[in-house]
Structure 1
């Protein structure tokens, strides 16, 4: 299997992403690169690259659509089509999560109780706070003036129904300059719960 080395390209893909992709898909990274190159993927958009990846997923793989997205993003980072943290729209995103021994509604409620009244995050005013619930997840969302959108989600743990993964996903950052600052901020707030 590959170590995620650049292979002569401007590789900015995280090594841990490559190792996880190789383990899950059963294909070495250089095999993925050859596959994408044979389909002219460097000239395609994200959706097309993800379709190429999905078509190559092995039978029986759990969450093949998710892995197709992960492989497509890693390829885009590897070829310089995007850098880590950058979405397919060109904006940047960051996320953090923590496992809590609460159900999904209680986990999101704990976030709202602890941080829902905060008027700003790192100098950006909170607007449009709202909550919602689907069959699988509970959400609390808000916007940050000049700094994108935040989604706090509670997702039940598949292996232990007494636990929930509480995630903070921050999308819409104009550049990647403050990604690590934002990541530390969200991790710090999660740690307080």
Structure 2
């Protein structure tokens, strides 16, 4: 694989938590957090200091993209992490291991380091897919619209801004904001966390994403995903 191929690789996950494209990370460095950890940020351990299994071991959907971008096979990544005893480390330390092994020519290496650390945590059973470092859950959906970013937010507001409930939960007052790169519509859901609708330019179009975090458990993730996808489809 050439350096150019690695530098241009992008994740293939169609429904990603906090699915910011490479080059535009505006979220907290933790991204899509880990399973429950001790107070010092490390995984829970048994009496011998060995990390307790944190759920089903899962192959992350973006592993092929990580392999292409980094030029390193997933087996090599696992071997690297295990050689550094990453299973006994906190998320930030795992990210640093990944970052140090990214090729120099790779664009957005910090973003890829986060993605690789998260994928390893899922592989090692330290993280349940969709679970954040706080122990709650997140879900997202997105759609591309033939509008500019502000018009996309206006379309959401006009179509769904007056809704009085989402799957039985009452939305709080919406908050609009705008950065150099994106436009946002945010609101809290009574008893069901927080929702951020973000509009990101994609050439002459806009990617409108719904990121919902703060869910108490993962039982309704797919129900919430279907809900947000259906609202996006109405635009």
Structure 2 length as normaliser, TM-score?
Answer: 0.74
1:54 maps to which of 99, 105, 118 = 99
Task: Show CA shifts across 1:108-145 (max 9, x none).
Answer: 11111110111110011101310100111100000111
1:168 maps to which of 210, 220, 229 = 210
Structure 1 residue 69: deviation in Å?
A: 1.0
Q: Does 1:12 align with 2:12?
A: no
Counterpart CA distance in 2 for 1:62 and 1:83 is 28
Q: Quote the residue 2:76 is aligned against.
A: 31
| Aligned-partner SS, 1:128 | coil
Whether the 8 Å contact between 2:199 and 2:209 is mirrored in structure 1 is yes
Counterpart CA distance in 2 for 1:121 and 1:95 is 15
Return structure 1 stretches of 4+ with deviation > 2 angstroms. Answer: none
Query: How big is the alpha-carbon RMSD for the aligned residues of Structure 1 and Structure 2?
Result: 1.3
Counterpart CA distance in 2 for 1:36 and 1:168 is 32
| Aligned-partner SS, 1:124 | coil
Q: Which has the higher helix share?
A: 1
Structure 1 residue 10: deviation in Å?
A: 4.4
In the alignment, structure 2 segments of 5+ residues that lack a partner are 1-54
Counterpart CA distance in 1 for 2:139 and 2:180 is 25
Counterpart CA distance in 2 for 1:152 and 1:178 is 19
Q: Quote the residue 1:91 is aligned against.
A: 136
Counterpart CA distance in 1 for 2:174 and 2:110 is 30
Whether the 8 Å contact between 1:13 and 1:84 is mirrored in structure 2 is no
Corresponding pairs, count: 181
Structure 1 residue 62: deviation in Å?
A: 1.9
Q: Quote the residue 1:5 is aligned against.
A: none
| Aligned-partner SS, 2:94 | helix
In the alignment, structure 1 segments of 5+ residues that lack a partner are 1-8
Structure 1 residue 72: deviation in Å?
A: 0.9
Q: Does 1:181 align with 2:181?
A: no
Counterpart CA distance in 2 for 1:36 and 1:176 is 27
Q: Which has the higher strand share?
A: 1
Higher-RCO chain (CA-CA 8 Å, sequence separation at least 6):
2
Q: Does 1:190 align with 2:232?
A: yes
Counterpart CA distance in 2 for 1:183 and 1:165 is 16
